[in-house]
């Protein structure tokens, strides 16, 4: 798939199909920047006739809080966290392979200044079964090693839940040990290796993620140019005050007879937009953002393998009055 996407044609086609309907534009992480640009493009080519309702959904967008060089430095610090597999697993384990129910009953402490997208015990049980019966079974061929790994995790879980003498520091260390055991399997899931090889190859071809050594010089230059553009857009978005960007977009929507609602979403264990940062944004952007949501137990990349968060979010949004 070497052809470039014609975004203008795509925007025109979307406009034709959404006249009088509700349009949801969603961007996760760095994709939020593309979602902002795409929405701006939709509004620019729309004529002033006919009402268009748009929900622009930012999920953990980088640089949403702050501005200037300080904001860029903070973003780089946060991104450095995401390239450490064990630190990622420390946050992701509560959705990837959750602890038993008792852990979440003891540690529940969520502030409700935003709407909560819950992660039920039924879902946790499903995830535990998924890891034990499918993920580790497909990725770890040695039955004895599989059982040994599961026994180690269960022993850690039992100690965390039942040893009341544990200090917070010791409990955190046990969670780190648990994350290190899970980490290799989480990374393989991120890479799609838990899928049948034929399906994995099909997905790699579809998203142009085959070995870069197979690509021609022309393809390399194309990707390099796009990478430079993307990095520039990321730094521009992070450097610029978010309030200014949203005010410009909402002003454009008003001129084009469009009802634009901005929705901000984060996750309980996210490091890019933390729950405390989401709390402060409720006040900072109160006149610009329509709704705030929090994915319970999730971390930055959890929606990649647990899509129920997105289906619940979309269901909430489309059921609201315009």
First to last CA, the chain: 38
E strand residue ranges, 81-155: 115-117
In a domain, 169, yes or no: yes
DSSP assigned state of 266: E
In a domain, 5, yes or no: no
pLDDT tens for residues 155-179? 999 999 999 999 999 999 999 999 9
In a domain, 221, yes or no: no
Q: Which residues pair with 117 in a beta bridge?
A: 295
% of the chain at pLDDT higher than 90: 40
Range of the domain at 71: 16-39+46-216+241-318
Q: Which residues pair with 116 in a beta bridge?
A: 294
pLDDT tens for residues 3-31? 445 667 777 777 777 766 778 899 998 88
Give pLDDT, residue 4.
45
In a domain, 267, yes or no: yes
What total of structural domains would you count in the chain?
1
Reading the block at residue 139, the tokens are 């990725």
Percentage helix, strand, coil for the chain under 3-state DSSP, each rounded to 5 = 60, 10, 30
In a domain, 224, yes or no: no
In a domain, 104, yes or no: yes
Residue 26 to residue 24: CA distance in whole angstroms:
6
CB-based contacts of 34, cutoff 8 Å, min separation 6: 27
In a domain, 236, yes or no: no
Phi, psi of 285 (to 5 degrees): -115, 25
In a domain, 106, yes or no: yes
For the chain, what's the residue count? Answer: 322
Q: Which residues pair with 28 in a beta bridge?
A: 59
Residue 93 has pLDDT above 60, yes or no: yes
């Amino acid at each position: 798939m070497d052809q470039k996407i014609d975004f203008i044609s795509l925007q025109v086609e979307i406009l034709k199909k959404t006249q009088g309907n509700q349009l949801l534009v969603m961007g996760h992480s760095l994709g939020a920047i593309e979602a902002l640009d795409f929405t701006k493009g939709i509004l620019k080519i729309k004529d002033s006739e006919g009402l268009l309702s748009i929900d622009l959904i930012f999920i953990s967008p980088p640089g949403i809080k702050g501005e200037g060089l300080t904001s860029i430095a903070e973003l780089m610090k946060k991104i450095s966290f995401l390239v450490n597999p064990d630190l990622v697993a420390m946050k992701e384990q509560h959705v990837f392979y959750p602890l038993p129910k008792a852990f979440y009953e003891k540690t529940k402490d969520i502030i409700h200044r935003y709407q909560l997208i819950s992660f039920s015990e039924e879902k946790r049980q499903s995830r535990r079964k998924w890891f034990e019966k499918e993920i580790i079974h497909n990725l770890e061929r040695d039955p004895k090693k599989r059982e040994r790994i599961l026994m180690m995790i269960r022993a850690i879980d039992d100690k965390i839940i039942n040893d009341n003498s544990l200090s917070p520091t010791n409990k955190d260390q046990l969670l780190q040990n648990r994350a290190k055991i899970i980490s290799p399997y989480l990374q393989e899931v991120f890479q799609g290796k838990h899928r049948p090889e034929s399906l994995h190859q099909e997905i790699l071809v579809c998203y142009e993620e085959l070995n870069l050594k197979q690509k021609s010089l022309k393809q390399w230059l194309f990707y390099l140019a796009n990478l430079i553009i993307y990095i520039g857009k990321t730094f521009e978005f992070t450097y610029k005050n978010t309030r200014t960007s949203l005010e410009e977009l909402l002003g454009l929507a008003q001129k084009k007879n469009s009802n634009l609602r901005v929705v901000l979403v984060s996750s309980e264990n996210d490091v890019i937009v933390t729950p405390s940062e989401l709390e402060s944004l409720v006040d900072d952007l109160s006149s610009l953002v329509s709704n705030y949501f929090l994915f319970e137990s999730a971390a930055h990349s959890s929606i990649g393998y647990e899509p129920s968060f997105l289906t619940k979010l979309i269901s909430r949004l489309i059921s609201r009055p315009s």
